[in-house]
Amino acid sequence: MTWGYDTKVIGDFFGTSDRQNISQHGNNLMVSLQQERKANPHRPLVFVAHSLGGIILKVALDNSKRSTHQPQYLTIYTSTKGIIFLGTPHGGSGGADWGLIASKIVKCALQSPSERVLRSLIPNSELLENLRKTFSQMLEDGHFRIHSFYETRPILGMYGLDSLVVPFESSQVGHARKEVILGLPGNHSEICKFSGPSDPAYKAVFGALQDYVREATGAMEGHSSLDNANSTPKLDITPQLEELLTSDLITFLPGSEDNK
């Protein structure tokens, strides 16, 4: 399943017009997943998220974990086995850092944002910092592990950018036991696009995906073997993983509103 959001969302994601945008998009993702998984709600989940998609994913998982009064959503959290973050801004040292990161992401995503859009950027730093803390607690719960991949090349001479969009310090959660941190050759836009199996970035992300899928399918086979030790065939999803990684992981759809 691929889930994305319209480019017009980027401009107001951190804006003053709706301070609940992050929560709303996270809830939308949670509900979409639940609808997609009705036939098998306990199937293991492995996520790949780029940039702001990682924040939306963390909100979705937090909402799922808290959904005690709507138990149909709980299995999204409990079924998650691994997450691959690509250039996700996990944290900053204050509101100024979040503001700078927000500005860079908007410039990168919208390419030529208007001054009006840039002036409206006021990140909800308290919400984002609380999310960082709650996600660290999720890792302590032990349901899943994560890979945090960071960009190693700045975007130069484009969209008014001259540096890394998400700096190294912000691209990691900072959990010593549950997180693997690795740089990918490319800038913020390039690290979610791969040319093919020989691409070093492809190999790194593909290897992480393989590990998570093997763990997830191994757990499924273990449960099945309690009923019939020989009934569960080995699952090989290598072709599906290869198809996923040679396409754009996150597609920004054309916005229906003028960004100028």
Q: Where are the domains of the chain?
A: 7-245
What tokens does 231 get?
């009934």
pTM: 0.78
* pLDDT the model gives residue 239: 62
β-strand partners of 179: 146
Ranges of residues in the chain whose predicted pLDDT is under 70: 4-21, 92-99, 106-107, 109-125, 157-161, 219-260
* Region 7-245: CATH code: 3.40.50
φ, ψ of residue 76 to 5 degrees: the values are -65, -45
Extract the tokens encoding 228: 């019939």
What is the pLDDT at residue 48? Answer: 93
Query: pLDDT at position 238, please?
Result: 60
Contacts of 102 (CB under 8 A, 6+ apart): 13, 14, 121, 123
* Element holding 162 (H helix, E strand): strand 161-163
Strands 80-86 and 145-151: parallel
Q: What is the pLDDT of residue 253?
A: 34
C-alpha–C-alpha distance, residues 166 and 190, integer Å: 13
Q: Which of 74, 91, 230, 253 is nearest to 172 (CA)?
A: 91
